[in-house]
Amino acid sequence: MAPALLPCVEAGPGGDADGAVVLLHGLGANGHDFEPIVPMFGLPRVRFVFPHAPSRPVTINGGMVMPAWYDILALARPGGENAEQVRASSAQVDALLDREVARGVPASRIVLAGFSQGAALALHAGTRYPAGLAGILFLSGYEVRASAREAESSPRNRATPILFCHGRYDQVVPLAGGRMAYEAHATPAREALWREFPIGHEVSEDEIGVVRDWLHARLM
């Protein structure tokens, strides 16, 4: 049985879209987090979909209940994520991508994106999605379930372009975690780009400009 669709915030054309960006927020945030920057991307024919993560207890935050794609036992460390919840959330992301296809946007015109914990999930789900995507956008993230990468990766997304962006002074998700994810996915077959910025665990105007240009190259 397919998972229930997550509630989402949407921005973009009121009617048919000729592309889509599905962007997953970070831990403790919600789908409204990146909604205000949509006009800065200059993509009027692209639908932006911002799902809300379900609320659940998060171990590294003392068991506090908050929006989270999965429980975190230790941040950016092998096995520090709840693998079962990662797989369940990936299935929910797949359902959102399937809905975009059903609404007339081919997978080749969809970018899956995320910030922080959302970036970890976007990388996990995007590289395993059965149809080839336009790209994967990875902002201030890290890789989860890395040991299953080779066995589970989709042949259709082994060459999918990925843009990795990270703050040089990030004290939440260390730069090394993002860099490790980049190096694991920067294969000869894939256009993987690494960009770092003089910021912390956040998104800057310069970074938005780099993301805009990368999205234009894939969805304009």
Are 161 and 219 in contact, with CB atoms under 8 Å apart?
Answer: no
Residue 48, beta-bridge partner list = 11, 21
Burial class of residue 131 in the structure, from the number of CB atoms within 10 Å of its CB (0-12 exposed, 13-18 middle, 19+ buried): middle
Query: Can you tell me the distance from the alpha carbon of 128 to that of 107, in angstroms, rounded to the nearest whole number?
Result: 13
Do residues 24 and 70 touch, judged by C-beta distance below 8 A?
Answer: no
Is 170 an annotated catalytic residue? Answer: yes
Q: Identify whether 116 is a catalytic site residue.
A: yes
Which residues are bridge partners to 11 per DSSP? 48
Question: Which of 33, 71, 94, 170 is the catalytic position?
Answer: 170
Q: Is 201 a catalytic residue?
A: yes
Q: Which one of 89, 90, 116, 140 is the catalytic residue?
A: 116
Residues in the chain: 220
Q: List the catalytic residues.
A: 116, 170, 201
